[in-house]
Amino acid sequence: MINCLIIDDEPFARELLEGYIAQIPSLSLLASCEHVFEALEVLQQQKVDLIFSDINMPQVNGIEFIKSLHNPPYVVFVTAFPNFALEGFELDALDYIVKPVSFPRFLKAVNKAQLIINSRPAAPVPVAPQFLFVKEGHSLQRVLFDEIYYIEGMKDYIKIILKNRIIITCLRMSRVEDQLPAERFTRIQKSYIVRMDAIKAISGNEAELYDLPEKLPIGKQHKEALLGRFGLS
C-alpha cells in the first residue's frame, strides 16, 4: 500500500484526484490539503510515500515546498502550467501532469510511481529529526532543537526563543509540544516549554537558563515533575 497526499488550493482539483485515488486499491489517501502548511502537519505526523502536488499556490508554491523538506517523499506535480516542468524534474519528480487530468494519464503516473516505490531497497531505521518547521511570514523556517532555549505560549501563538533570534508563529502550545522530543523538552508552566539542558539552575519557583538574563516561572503542578527529571524529587 502506498500512502499518498494531495496538495492543491483548488477544491475541484482535489476532488478529482480523490476520486481517482479511490479507484486504485494500492493507494491509500492520508489527507487532501488545501495548502502546504496543512500538508506539513501531515508529513510531521505520518509516513507519506507519494505526494500529488499543485505548483502555483499562494504563499508557498509546490516546488518551494518540496525544496524545503529535508527528506521529501516521491512527488508527482499536477499543474495547469507546463512551463514549470523543467524545474519540477530537477527535483527528481516522478512525473509531471498538466491539467486537466484524465484518469488514464493519472494511472500512468501511478504505475510509474508504484514501480519505483516498490523496487526501492528496504529503508534503514529512520533517525528522529532534530528540528521542526514553523511558519514565519510567508515561509517555512527550519528550527533546530539545539537552538531553542524555551517556547512561550500566547493564546493561539507561540514565541520561540533561539540563540540568535525570536520567532513568533501561529501555533498552539499543545501542537508544538507534540512535535518536540519529550526526553529533551519539558513544560515548566502552562505557558512555558524549556529545553532541559538549557536550564542552569532552579531557584524556588523559577528556572534560570544559560546565556539568558530572564528567569522563567515554574508552575506548582509542574515543579515536582521537573525536579524528578533531574533526579531531585
Q: Where are the domains of the chain?
A: 2-119, 131-230
Q: Which fold has domain 2-119?
A: Rossmann fold (3.40.50)
Q: Is the pLDDT of residue 143 over 70?
A: yes
Are the beta carbons of 171 and 157 closer than 8 angstroms?
yes
DSSP states of 110-159: HHHHHHHHHHSPPPPPPPPPSEEEEEETTEEEEEEGGGEEEEEEETTEEE
Q: Is 156 exposed, middle or buried (0-12, 13-18, 19+ CB in 10 A)?
A: exposed
pLDDT at 82: 73
pLDDT at 124: 65
Architecture of the 131-230 domain? Beta Barrel (2.40)
pLDDT at 123: 58
Mean pLDDT of 148-155: 94
- Of 212, 155, 145, 156, give the one whose Cα is nearest residue 182: 145
Residues with Cβ within 8 Å of 220's Cβ and at least 6 positions away in sequence, in order, are: 205
At 55 the three-state DSSP class reads coil
CA–CA gap between residue 208 and residue 51 (Å, rounded): 44
Q: What's the pLDDT tens digit per position in 200-232?
A: 999 999 999 999 998 999 999 999 999 988 888
Better-predicted residue by pLDDT, 75 or 93:
75
Q: What Å distances lie between residue 168 and 16, 58, 134, 189, CA to CA?
A: 37, 21, 9, 19
pLDDT at 184: 93
pLDDT at 109: 94
Q: How much is the pTM?
A: 0.58
* Dihedral sign from CA coordinates of 136, 81, 94, 88: negative
pLDDT at 233: 65
pLDDT at 159: 96
Phi, psi of 136 (to 5 degrees): -135, 110
Q: What's the pLDDT tens digit per position in 39-76?
A: 999 998 899 999 999 988 888 888 889 888 888 899 99
pLDDT at 86: 57
CA–CA gap between residue 50 and residue 93 (Å, rounded): 10
Mean pLDDT of 157-173: 92
Measured at the CA of 92, the angle between CA 89 and CA 98, to 5 degrees, comes to: 40
